[in-house]
Amino acid sequence: MRESSRSMVERLSSYRSVLCKLKTLGFVKVFSDNLGDALGISASQVRKDFSQFELKGNKKGGYQVDELIERLNEILGKNEVQDIIIVGCGKIGTALMNYNRFTSEGIRVVAGFDTDPTVIRPDARIPVLDLSELESFVERHGIRIAIMTVPEPPAPQVYERLVNAGIEGILNFTPMQLRSSGSCLIQNVNIEREIENLFYFINLQNRE
Amino acid sequence: MRESSRSMVERLSSYRSVLCKLKTLGFVKVFSDNLGDALGISASQVRKDFSQFELKGNKKGGYQVDELIERLNEILGKNEVQDIIIVGCGKIGTALMNYNRFTSEGIRVVAGFDTDPTVIRPDARIPVLDLSELESFVERHGIRIAIMTVPEPPAPQVYERLVNAGIEGILNFTPMQLRSSGSCLIQNVNIEREIENLFYFINLQNRE
């Protein structure tokens, strides 16, 4: 995943989120200047992004809010619910299984997986299944994306199983730094590392 | 926070984490090639990073593992426990209050804050306090870093209060994209956005 295309998708998501808020405020049209201001970028960057996806406005009248949202939904795959699974139902995994913001963003957690018999709940609204059922579940439901929230020791094995099961994208919360391969994209989220970064840069500023 | 210095700190953290594992395996010395392999970068990048921080090895004998760890601990502020607070004790906030990996990384959550009277627990091991106590707590304990896990509507107000209270770094889990200002560094973690990115790039690959 190239950093530049990643930032572009992030901008598209931000446009969409700002536009949805403007729509609830009654906006019918919007100008590249408005969106630039909201995102803290230049209006010409907005126009450049939009022209790349053939999102058309007109010079005087700006862009139609509804049309932009509709087209951004298409580009970002927001027109269909996106099913994901969570592997590792500890504290973070369990919190994410019931995360309100997934619902509002069209993301649906369809199952959790764990090896601890005391957390297995096949009959729950979002079932927690034994890890042994991973491969068959992924195949049966055509799951493409998994969140990995297992502890560090089993992480390498779980990663291999996910890739072999056909998972194409992993959001990795484990401390193991994974790298995207040809068949599987990785996004690492390392919360303790983020905090470490903040402390490092704050200390640096205070020394300067 | 410049992206380049950010990646550098991330590498320093990764070196440290690999070195700690090598130490438990009995390693006494290590070569730049070893660390390059482990991180998936070139040995010359490793040497460049190390020379920037006057981490010295010798050509034949490599680097001393203990010395490297000690020096990296100093650079990354790992020699002292780093106290943080969590504002917003919903699902994610509560999961982070009891996150094992913080302890092993020398990060200590000293309090949570919320406005919901049913979650306030001043006598808990990690107390959950009413948000009205935020400013006095931050001042009394010299807190510099906060994790923001409040819902979207109160996020702008909470952000302002944190900055005014003297917080210097925020790990922001709210959907509000914050930008670093002179007095406060921001690191945004938007989980739903990360999943959106994965779906986008997978769909793109499948179309190609």
Domains, chain A = 3-75 (1.10.10.10), 82-192 (3.40.50.720)
Secondary structure of chain A: what % helix, strand, coil (to 5)?
50, 15, 35
The tokens describing B199, both together, are 């779906």
Cα B65 to Cα A136, A152, B33, B60, distances in angstroms: 44, 22, 14, 15
Q: Read off the pLDDT of each residue in A147-159 and give the average, rounded to a whole number.
A: 94
- Predicted pLDDT of residue B59: 67
* DSSP secondary structure letters along B18-72: HHHHHHHTT--EE-HHHHHHHHTS-HHHHHHHHHHTT---BTTTBEEHHHHHHHH
pLDDT grade for A77, boundaries at 50, 70 and 90: confident
Tell me how far apart the 2 most distant CA atoms of chain A are, in Å.
63
The tokens describing A193, both together, are 């590392």
Residue A102 C-alpha, separation from nearest chain B C-alpha, in angstroms: 6
- Predicted pLDDT of residue B106: 87
Distance CA A177, CA B146 (A): 24
Q: Average pLDDT of chain B?
A: 89
Predicted interface score ipTM higher than 0.95: no
Classify residue B59 by burial, with Cβ atoms within 10 Å: 0-12, 13-18, 19+: exposed
Distance CA B175, CA A14 (A): 10
Residue B176 C-alpha, separation from nearest chain A C-alpha, in angstroms: 10
Q: Read off the pLDDT of each residue in B180-194 and give the average, rounded to a whole number.
A: 89
Q: Read off the pLDDT of each residue in B60-83 and give the average, rounded to a whole number.
A: 87
Is the pLDDT at A176 greater than 90? The verdict is no
Q: Is B189 within 8 Å of A191 when comparing Cβ atoms? A: yes
Chain B's closest residue to A95, CA to CA, is B91
Q: Is B200 within 8 Å of A175 when comparing Cβ atoms? A: no
Is the pLDDT at A1 greater than 70? The verdict is no
Which of A11-20, A89-98, B10-19, B36-45 is most confident? A89-98
Does A81 contact B at CB distance below 8 Å?
no
Is the pLDDT at A79 greater than 90? The verdict is no
pLDDT in tens, A52-66: 888 887 767 789 999
- Predicted pLDDT of residue B118: 96
Distance CA B99, CA A192 (A): 10
Q: Is B107 within 8 Å of A195 when comparing Cβ atoms? A: yes
Distance CA A117, CA A96 (A): 20
Provide, rounded to the nearest whole percent, the portion of chain B with pLDDT above 90: 50
Residue A153 C-alpha, separation from nearest chain B C-alpha, in angstroms: 12
Number of residue pairs across A and B with CB atoms under 8 Å? 160
Which chain A residues are closer than 8 Å to B184 by Cβ? none
